[in-house]
Each structure stands twice: as C-alpha cells, then as structure tokens.
C-alpha cells in the first residue's frame, strides 16, 4: 500500500492536514526575522587609546604595538588590524564567525588591562568597544539649530539625544560627527612669552597646579553630617586669565599677559554641512547580533518623539538609511516569487488546456511556500535574500511534481478510461516506483526517471 493512498481515500484528512500546514506556516511567517543575509556573529573589538601630543611613530612603538601583541593571543581571533596616527592609536580585533561577542569582549579587556602598566603614564586609558567592524554606520541622522552655537548643539546632543538613541535595542554605538565639545582654549603668544621670560612648561605647570579636583571629606558630629566643598577648579575664562605664572620684583605675570583664553570648541578640524548649512551628524552602529531592519524601524519610531521634545528651531532628520536597500532587495525577491507563480500557472494552462488541471499547482505552490516557513522558524532561520531565492528555485521543484501527477492522472483517465479515483491510485504507484514494475533499458551513464514508465509499451530488460 502506498502512503499516498491514505490521502486519496480520505480527502477530509488531506484538507485538514493542508489547513494545519497553512496555519503553522502563517504563524512562522509572523515570527520569522526579516534580514538581508542570514544572522552571522561577526564580532570586532576596537581598542582606542589617546596620547595627546604624541607623534604617529611614538604611538606605534609604545602603544599600538604592545596592545596588538597582547590581544592577538585572545581565543578565536581571526585577525588583528591596527592604525597609528598623531595622538591616537586604534587596534581592531576581528573574531572568527560564530564567536560569542560577550566572551570576546571580556578576554580582550583582560588582555589590555595586562599591558596597561607598559603604556606611557600620560596616555589615556584605552577605550574598548564591541561592534561589527563595519566602516559605515547603519544610519546617519542630521541635527541643526540656527539659534545655537555648535558647542551648545553638541552639548544638547550629548546630554539628551545620544542617551535616548543608545537605549534602542540593537544599537551598539552612537557617534557624533562634527562635534564641538566645550573646552577652555589657551592660545599662547610666543612673542609675549619670550618678552616676560616665561616658558610653555611653566604655563602648563601653573594651570595644572591651580586647576584640580579635590574631595576633602566631611564634618560630622552626633547629630549632623556636612560635606566639605572646595572650589579647586577654574570655571570661567576670566578665572583662567587671572592665573599667576610668576612674580618678579613685585611684578606678577598672569596668564592673560602671555595668552588669550576663551571657552570654545575642543577640536575645529572637522566641519559638517547638510544642505549647505552647518550641522551635526549622528552615526548609528548596530550590535553584532542585531537585526538591522528591526533596529532601523525602532529608530524611525523614536525620531518623531525626539523631534517633539526638541527646542524651538532644532531639527532632526534621517539622511541615510542602509536598510532601505535591504527592504528594496527583499521586495524584489517577493516580486520574483509572484512572477514565477504566475508564469507557472499560465504555462500549465497553455499546455494542459484545462482550468481544473491548474488548480493543483495553484494550491500546491502557496501551501508549500507558506508551510516551509514554520520549519524555518523552528530551525532558527530567518527570511532573507538567500532563503527567498531558495524559495524561488523550489517553486520549480514543487510545480514539476504537481505537473507530473496531474499529467499522469489525466493520461490514465483519457487513454485507459479509468475512473478518477483509480487513475489517481495507479499514477501515484507509478510515480513512487511502487506497484507496477518498470523494466526500462537504460543506456550507460543515464538513470531511469520514475514517471517514464509506459504501461502500454513496456520494454524487457533483455530486449535489444
């Protein structure tokens, strides 16, 4: 007895099973992730170390080389890249595909801490960030406000906008391009410095000794406790300008005598314009395990909420979204699937010339494509370009089997004058190589196809 006989004899069972497959497939579709490519744990750990004033050669020899040598011994490392430029060292550790990003971050952190004592004392502490290693951000947002200075705009972004963006699920890092952080700028005049016999090191020493953070402690008794507050930091350009540098014969040389002090941007080397107007960009980088489409959708939802709470005149706008290309590619594949189904139906109709014969492929194609989504969901896969293209190829296999069954049943009904039920039994037995034996003489190098059996003209294996 062929397994197909059960479903031929019990049409209600076949209908219920088909409906069950359809419902499970619909459930799988709503729960499957939509991605551009299958999820791959592509982890890159970036170690950034700043050493203000140091040359690129000095950075390479005393910071980049020790860190790169230490992190290269981390488990599951694929390769390590490094870059050294004036005042900054960057070492990127690329992990093997499938490596746990949290474990990789912990191991790299321990390796860097092990060589921290070998770095120059004036170097900043290394900053370690986990990411995907991609050079371009997933999204870029532009913020502008003609009523604010660049420093004020950057301060607002750092305090309000950036923390809200960082809380979005799937966001690994939010970088600010064109940032103008507040800094006390001391512009030393070498002519005035030489005229008063003061060196630059004396200026630096005076600023360091007179501008520091202090925590003197607290005063307490049996009933009250009071914290001691010491204003040991200079708060304004005038306070810095009045800083004494030297006293000779009753003449006090102050900082304003040899330098110009102002509160301005820390770095003015980068300028960002959008539509011809100055502004600031926010670059959104995803985590290694994040779904770009889901993360981008969350960013699109939060941007209107941020816009509603911004000060008057400030705007935020998404100027680049890489997920738009992903969505367009997936839509094209969906369109291809629809076109393939339509072409198959038309071809069957033209060759078989029966609307009744077209019903089987019309039912089989969507049932197979939707039903397989449940298996994809249970196996942990996602709807991506590769799985959708596989569905496009699978349409041909599904349609081929459906056409073979329909054509064979149709042949038995016309040529052998069999009833529909008997024709279905005979056709399925022939196609599945059960029941009727098939003795075909096969040339060397070719294999017999199950549906090539011809009941009216069978060939003996010993025939010439």
Higher pLDDT, 212 or 375: 375
Question: Is the pLDDT at 305 greater than 80, yes or no?
Answer: yes
In whole angstroms, give the CA distance from residue 99 to residue 107: 12
Residues 266 and 180: beta-carbon distance below 8 Å? yes
Cα 196 to chain centroid distance, Å, stands at 58
Residue 461 has a pLDDT of 36
Once rounded to an integer, what is the mean pLDDT over residues 227-232?
76
Nearest to 186, CA basis, from 245, 123, 122, 256: 256
Question: Is the pLDDT at 137 greater than 70, yes or no?
Answer: yes
pLDDT band at 445 (very low <50, low <70, confident <90, very high): very low
Once rounded to an integer, what is the mean pLDDT over residues 362-390?
84
38-54 pLDDT tens trace:
777 678 899 999 998 88
Residue 449 has a pLDDT of 35
Residue 267 has a pLDDT of 77
Residue 135 has a pLDDT of 64
Higher pLDDT, 449 or 125: 125
Question: Is the pLDDT at 447 greater than 70, yes or no?
Answer: no
pLDDT band at 292 (very low <50, low <70, confident <90, very high): confident
Residue 451 has a pLDDT of 35
Q: Which residues neighbour 425 within 8 Å (Cβ) at sequence distance 6 or greater?
A: 2, 5, 8
What percent of the chain has a predicted confidence (pLDDT) above 90? 14
In whole angstroms, give the CA distance from residue 428 to residue 90: 66
Residue 1 has a pLDDT of 60
Residue 448 has a pLDDT of 36
Q: Which residues neighbour 66 within 8 Å (Cβ) at sequence distance 6 or greater?
A: 115, 118, 119
In whole angstroms, give the CA distance from residue 51 to residue 44: 23
Once rounded to an integer, what is the mean pLDDT over residues 442-464?
35
**Low-confidence winner among 132-136, 161-165, 174-178, 350-354 (lowest mean pLDDT):** 132-136
List residues bridging with 285 in a β-sheet: 173
Write out the E strands in 101-163.
127-131, 139-144
Residues 198 and 253: beta-carbon distance below 8 Å? yes
Residue 134 has a pLDDT of 64
Nearest to 174, CA basis, from 187, 188, 185, 160: 160
* Structural domains of the chain in order of their starting residue, each with its CATH number: 3-36+326-452 (1.20.1640.10), 43-131 (3.30.70.1430), 137-181+266-321 (3.30.70.1320), 203-264 (3.30.2090.10)
Nearest to 126, CA basis, from 53, 59, 211: 59
CB atoms within 10 A of CB 337: 18
Once rounded to an integer, what is the mean pLDDT over residues 7-30?
87
Residue 341 has a pLDDT of 76
Residue 66 has a pLDDT of 93
In whole angstroms, give the CA distance from residue 429 to residue 419: 16
What percent of the chain has a predicted confidence (pLDDT) above 70? 91
pLDDT band at 23 (very low <50, low <70, confident <90, very high): very high
Residue 126 has a pLDDT of 92
Q: What mean pLDDT value characterizes the chain?
A: 81
Higher pLDDT, 263 or 464: 263
**Low-confidence winner among 248-252, 406-410, 457-461 (lowest mean pLDDT):** 457-461
Going by their DSSP bridges, the two strands 88-95 and 44-50 should be labelled as antiparallel
Residue 69 has a pLDDT of 92
Question: Is the pLDDT at 458 greater than 50, yes or no?
Answer: no
């Amino acid at each position: 007895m062929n397994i197909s006989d059960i479903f031929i004899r019990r049409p209600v069972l076949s209908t219920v099973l088909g409906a069950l497959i359809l419902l499970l497939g619909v459930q799988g579709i709503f729960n499957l992730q939509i991605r551009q490519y299958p999820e791959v744990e592509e982890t890159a750990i970036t170690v950034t170390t700043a050493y203000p004033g140091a040359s690129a050669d000095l950075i390479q020899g005393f910071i980049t080389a020790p860190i790169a040598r230490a992190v290269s011994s981390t488990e599951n490392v694929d390769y390590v890249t490094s870059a050294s430029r004036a005042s900054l060292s960057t070492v990127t550790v690329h992990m093997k595909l499938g490596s746990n990003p949290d474990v990789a971050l912990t191991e790299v952190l321990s390796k860097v801490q092990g060589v921290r004592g070998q770095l120059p004392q004036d170097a900043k502490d290394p900053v370690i960030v986990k990411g995907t290693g991609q050079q371009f951000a997933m999204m870029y947002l532009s913020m502008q406000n003609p009523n604010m200075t660049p420093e004020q705009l950057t301060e607002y972004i750092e305090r309000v906008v950036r923390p809200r963006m960082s809380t979005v699920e799937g966001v690994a890092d939010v970088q600010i391009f064109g940032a103008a952080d507040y800094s006390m700028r001391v512009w030393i005049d070498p002519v005035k410095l030489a005229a008063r016999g003061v060196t630059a090191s004396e200026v630096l020493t005076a600023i360091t000794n007179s501008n520091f953070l202090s925590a003197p402690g607290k005063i307490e008794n049996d009933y009250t406790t009071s914290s001691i507050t010491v204003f040991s930091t200079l708060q304004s350009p005038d306070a810095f300008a009045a800083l004494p540098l030297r006293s000779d014969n009753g003449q006090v040389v102050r900082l304003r005598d040899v330098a110009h002090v102002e509160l301005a941007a820390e770095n003015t080397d980068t300028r960002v314009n959008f539509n011809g107007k100055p502004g600031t960009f926010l670059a959104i980088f995803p985590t290694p395990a994040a779904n770009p489409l889901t993360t981008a959708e969350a960013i699109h939802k939060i941007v209107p909420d941020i816009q509603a709470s911004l000060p008057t005149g400030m705007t935020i706008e998404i100027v680049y979204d890489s997920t738009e290309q992903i969505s367009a590619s997936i839509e094209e594949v969906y369109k291809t699937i629809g076109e393939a189904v339509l072409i198959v139906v038309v071809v069957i109709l033209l060759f078989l010339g029966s609307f009744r014969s077209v019903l089987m492929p019309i039912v089989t194609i969507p049932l197979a494509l939707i039903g397989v989504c449940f298996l994809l969901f249970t196996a942990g896969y996602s709807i991506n370009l590769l799985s959708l293209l596989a569905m496009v190829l699978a349409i041909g296999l599904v349609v081929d089997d459906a056409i073979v069954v329909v054509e064979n049943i149709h042949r038995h009904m016309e040529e052998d004058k069999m009833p529909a039920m008997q024709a279905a039994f005979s056709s399925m037995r022939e196609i599945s190589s059960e029941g009727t034996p098939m003795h075909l003489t096969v040339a060397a190098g070719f294999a017999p196809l199950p549906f090539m059996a011809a009941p009216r003209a069978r060939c003996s294996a010993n025939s010439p």
